Chain A
């Protein structure tokens, strides 16, 4: 069975999430180097630049992400570097520009995802970000709709939960903020049946809040 799919860019995805009341690091689209520099100045440094293309999935691997840019000169150079890297890695990609956003303060990295199960429909996934989710498959699932209690249980269910509590002097992650975020994502996908897949990766969790740093939505 072939379904028509449409991948939204990070800027589009975040705009939808934001309207649904899910906290995101706002990303603005810059269509030129000049625009990237002026948007950076409006937002305040340091900033992050990312390629904004529905065709580039692994942005970092392709040289499509530049972090911690401290001034206009760095932003300008990053813009050119990204464009030439992408041209090499994805010569046929549709490039709409580059997204500019403030560099989020470091927090505990988690991921929240949604995929559709052939029997149960939308299923929410939660896990720690980075290597833990990729190698150890340390994730938990819940069927939509996810209640606050379900969200609490799915957060505590992962083996890496002690990391969220603040391990070895690291700052803890706010469990209530993560619970709220998961419930909001569940409500969001429940209301928007045309969302086939959603990937919030990473979400940064802080002692009092949590925010979506990168997002990707696929419509079906």
Chain B
């Protein structure tokens, strides 16, 4: 599906060469920053800085205009004042540029009528030159495989998560959250006002892209809702599509209008459209990242029967209660463990001070050693009444009881358990006072493909989101 999009957008995600217009040898212009970013990321093709200053940026010559650039130009990043964009597009047509990305802002998002007018003329020129436009008012493309980061950003490993964002700020933030949480992106794009290529084009591309297995989106509005709706429907049929709609409230909608020039529809209608299209609606950046992380780690997996394990290493009582609430509020089931499992747990941990039903409180293991802890967790994971195991591990309590070595042993055990059986293990590491140790533990688990969340609520919601998609797929 949408195979033609791969070819159509190849110059956007895999340009052979990039010109950066609005760069200068001796200033801190956005264009200059872009040139440095591309150089340090190791973009493999020619980079052509263009600006009035002449001179050099690093060892790259700055050309006075596109005309002077010596080689073919596939892709142009534009950071020049908006007054000159139309004239500039003529130069691009002359040089047979394939795609132009405008960082330049100040169009329909600023002045609905005059801005829209200029945008229409931009699109007209692009059509004449057989050229595509990304933006304006955007930070464009993120493609680890082609070594293209966002401006002043860092590249993570190439992975399977694709994303589209109307906002550059949110695209950039998602990329950095991805770096921190090992969410590895295939491609990302911020498309701003989307006057030519818009959300629908990029969603279609990602649906066809063989590197992308799950798609996230941040949207504020659309100029062609009917097309977006049809596109989302078709995309969600082939890949999980997770959408965060910004501007759900009046204040948010007002901001969206002056941010990307988006019209407002009511939140209820957007929710209806997303649900009907088979997309998973999420409500903030955290939930978007959580859900993408879980899809990346688990793929399309189904199972709502959760076992909750708390009391690592103590204080599991209240936590078990609230974790049970969090799971059931999110639509997961927390069924009783089988009688055999409970009996064996009772023998291992003792009945006093334990909760053996589900949630399970394994606090008592601290008096019987790590082996007992591991045996208990494995017993729960092996219970056939359970689809997924959510483990709350509080580093602030693990450290004084088991020491740093114990913390590492516990995480090694999780990694081993994940690798020797197929039931998903999800770990919750709540932030507290031992942040360095907690972050270290999180990194180790994430690298071993164990999804980690910082609260049970967020873990449960992500598991539930994954199930919503898989459930719908099964009954389509």
Assess A140 versus B265: contact at CB under 8 Å? Given A117-B225, A119-B225, A121-B225. Answer: no
Please, how many angstroms separate the alpha-carbon atoms of A119 and B272 in the complex? 13
Please, how many angstroms separate the alpha-carbon atoms of A98 and B222 in the complex? 45
Please, how many angstroms separate the alpha-carbon atoms of A118 and B223 in the complex? 9
Please, how many angstroms separate the alpha-carbon atoms of A142 and B233 in the complex? 13
CB pair A120–B268 under 8 Å, yes or no, is no
Task: Name the B residues within 8 Å of A120 (CB-CB).
Answer: 225-226, 229, 265, 269, 273
Any chain B CB within 8 A of the CB of A123?
yes
Residue of B nearest to A154 (CB): B272
Any chain B CB within 8 A of the CB of A141?
yes
CB pair B263–A143 under 8 Å, yes or no, is no
Q: Mask for B268-292, Cβ within 8 A of A = 1, else 0? A: 1100110110000000000000000
Task: Name the B residues within 8 Å of A12 (CB-CB).
Answer: none
Kindly state the interface size class of chain A when it binds its partner.
10 to 19
Any chain A CB within 8 A of the CB of B221?
yes
CB pair A118–B273 under 8 Å, yes or no, is no
Any chain B CB within 8 A of the CB of A26?
no
CB pair A141–B263 under 8 Å, yes or no, is no
Any chain B CB within 8 A of the CB of A150?
yes
CB pair A143–B229 under 8 Å, yes or no, is yes
Cβ-defined partner of B269 (8 Å) among A123, A150, A153, A154: A123
Please, how many angstroms separate the alpha-carbon atoms of A203 and B264 in the complex? 30
Please, how many angstroms separate the alpha-carbon atoms of A117 and B265 in the complex? 7
Task: Name the A residues within 8 Å of B264 (CB-CB).
Answer: 118
Residue of A nearest to B271 (CB): A141
CB pair A143–B265 under 8 Å, yes or no, is no
Please, how many angstroms separate the alpha-carbon atoms of A169 and B34 in the complex? 70
CB pair A142–B222 under 8 Å, yes or no, is no
Task: Name the B residues within 8 Å of A118 (CB-CB).
Answer: 225, 263-265
Q: Mask for B136-169, Cβ within 8 A of A = 1, else 0? A: 0000000000000000000000000000000000
Assess A119 versus B221: contact at CB under 8 Å? Given A141-B268, A143-B229. Answer: yes
Nearest chain A CB to B473's CB is how many angstroms away?
13
CB pair A140–B272 under 8 Å, yes or no, is yes
Q: Mask for A115-136, Cβ within 8 A of B = 1, else 0? A: 0011111010000000000000
Please, how many angstroms separate the alpha-carbon atoms of A118 and B269 in the complex? 11
Task: Name the A residues within 8 Å of B268 (CB-CB).
Answer: 141
Q: Mask for B247-280, Cβ within 8 A of A = 1, else 0? A: 0000000000000000111101100110110000
CB pair A119–B222 under 8 Å, yes or no, is yes
Nearest chain A CB to B222's CB is how many angstroms away?
5
Please, how many angstroms separate the alpha-carbon atoms of A118 and B263 in the complex? 7
Please, how many angstroms separate the alpha-carbon atoms of A208 and B414 in the complex? 56
Nearest chain B CB to A184's CB is how many angstroms away?
18
Please, how many angstroms separate the alpha-carbon atoms of A154 and B229 in the complex? 17
Residue of A nearest to B266 (CB): A117
Q: Mask for A82-119, Cβ within 8 A of B = 1, else 0? A: 00000000000000000000000000000000000111
Residue of B nearest to A124 (CB): B272
Task: Name the A residues within 8 Å of B263 (CB-CB).
Answer: 118-119
Assess A143 versus B276: contact at CB under 8 Å? Given A117-B269, A120-B229. Answer: yes
Please, how many angstroms separate the alpha-carbon atoms of A153 and B229 in the complex? 17
Please, how many angstroms separate the alpha-carbon atoms of A140 and B263 in the complex? 22
Which interface residue of A120, A142, A150 has the most chain B CB atoms within 10 A? A120
Cβ-defined partner of A142 (8 Å) among B225, B265, B276: B276
Task: Name the B residues within 8 Å of A117 (CB-CB).
Answer: 225, 265-266, 269
Q: Mask for A146-168, Cβ within 8 A of B = 1, else 0? A: 00001001100000000000000
Task: Please list the residues of chain B having a beta carbon within 8 angstroms of any beta carbon in chain A.
Answer: 221-222, 225-226, 229, 263-266, 268-269, 272-273, 275-276
28 inter-chain pairs at a CB distance below 8 angstroms, sorted by A residue, are A117-B265, A117-B269, A118-B225, A118-B263, A118-B264, A118-B265, A119-B221, A119-B263, A119-B265, A120-B226, A120-B265, A120-B273, A121-B226, A123-B269, A123-B272, A140-B272, A141-B268, A141-B269, A141-B272, A142-B276, A143-B229, A143-B269, A143-B272, A143-B276, A150-B276, A153-B275, A153-B276, A154-B272
Q: For the complex of A and B, list the 6 residue pairs with the smallest distance between their C-beta atoms, beginning with the closest.
A: A119-B225, A120-B225, A141-B272, A119-B265, A117-B265, A118-B263
